[in-house]
Structure 1
């Protein structure tokens, strides 16, 4: 079995994908709104790198826009996904709502392919009922995913201060109401007993609104979170009215 490249940092979008994938079935829990979710994750990553920022809101009727500041970190060889996302932001100022779908277009498959190349997922081609082609992406190395989940438990259950990357990940999970669901049942027990979904959601909200990074970064992540939440609401409403 191939091993993941330890020296290479995973993107927040990749961590998000791993958390939301069923390790055995190889399917994504949030497939219906994957595009804005992963687009928002790329936008949040650019914000953490200081590559983009959200302008100050100037009144009730003003919609703040995202501006490119400088290319993402990485020297002569930045991450290609982040570099492409930054180029989209740099085209012209856009709202976060206008960016998340644009940035997330086609990203899910690319993230899966990247994780296969790193030996974390495996691509399997099957047929449903022996007729219809289907592709699944089961996990083959869960070590990194377990580390990410442990970081989430540290802040959501134990109450430790999250790193900026973990706090951004919490904000993105909260946007799709998955902060509680990605924790294993055994992870929800603290010294005060087992936490309820409501308590985990409350803690996720507190982390998202906390002072975990510079204001410019928090503003950009908050804009990404709001844009994803809106996209999910629209998707849910559309699905409900079409049935």
Structure 2
């Protein structure tokens, strides 16, 4: 099964048996927005710089989420920074759409229940572990010293930005993770995406802190 970088991230971000998130919703949702932006860059549909996101080729890639993001960027009449686009693309709704898509493909199972018999909750345990196993093998190879391809470099970088690497690969060498995240395997897409994700996570955390103080 062909999955996007964002979907690969989701598979690593949920525990296999319990189907629960390993990182906060803010970290994960920002990372998903960054993953979509970076995948468009890896596929040479957009260019990323600190100052702006530019469309290089509006041709659809054949993926509903990636193509919708590309069309949205192409339709924007003002130049926007990567962090602006990560903030626009990320949401709990995007996460739910991607999780549902993985469930419909038989990769995850959707299990609904209630906390304390009142509050609805949904778990996403694995139904078919082969897809995540392939992702883990690829990432483990890179973390072990193999040169990563652009997709793997982006995935590692996005995990690092959202601190998922510590949860998904707790035994990984921190210097190797940093080397990949700061490397040139995916050109400017990696560094720019990391900066954008970190910026969005920081904004969200600051907003939440201010809201809590006011209330």
Settle same-fold status: TM greater than 0.5. Answer: yes
Matched position secondary structure for 2:114: strand
State whether residues 36 and 66 of structure 2, in contact with CA within 8 Å, keep that contact through their aligned partners in structure 1.
yes
2-structure distance, mates of 1:178, 1:80 = 25
Displacement after TM superposition at 1:179 (Å): 1.8
Q: Unaligned regions of 5+ residues in structure 1, if any? A: 1-5, 56-62, 189-194
- Between stretches 40-49 and 96-105, larger displacement belongs to 96-105
Which of 64, 71, 85 is the matching residue for 2:69?
A: 85
Q: Unaligned regions of 5+ residues in structure 2, if any? A: none
Which of 38, 49, 60 is the matching residue for 2:43?
A: 49
Task: Give the match for residue 201 of structure 1.
Answer: 174
Aligned positions of 1:108-147 closer than 5 A: 108-147=95-134
Task: Give the match for residue 83 of structure 2.
Answer: 97
2-structure distance, mates of 1:104, 1:235 = 12
Task: Give the match for residue 210 of structure 1.
Answer: 183
Displacement after TM superposition at 1:238 (Å): 4.3
What's the TM-score, normalizing by structure 1?
Answer: 0.79
Which of 217, 228, 232 is the matching residue for 2:201?
A: 232
1-structure distance, mates of 2:156, 2:129 = 20
**Change beyond 3 A, Cα 1:180–1:34:** closer
Matched residues, number:
208
Displacement after TM superposition at 1:221 (Å): 2.9
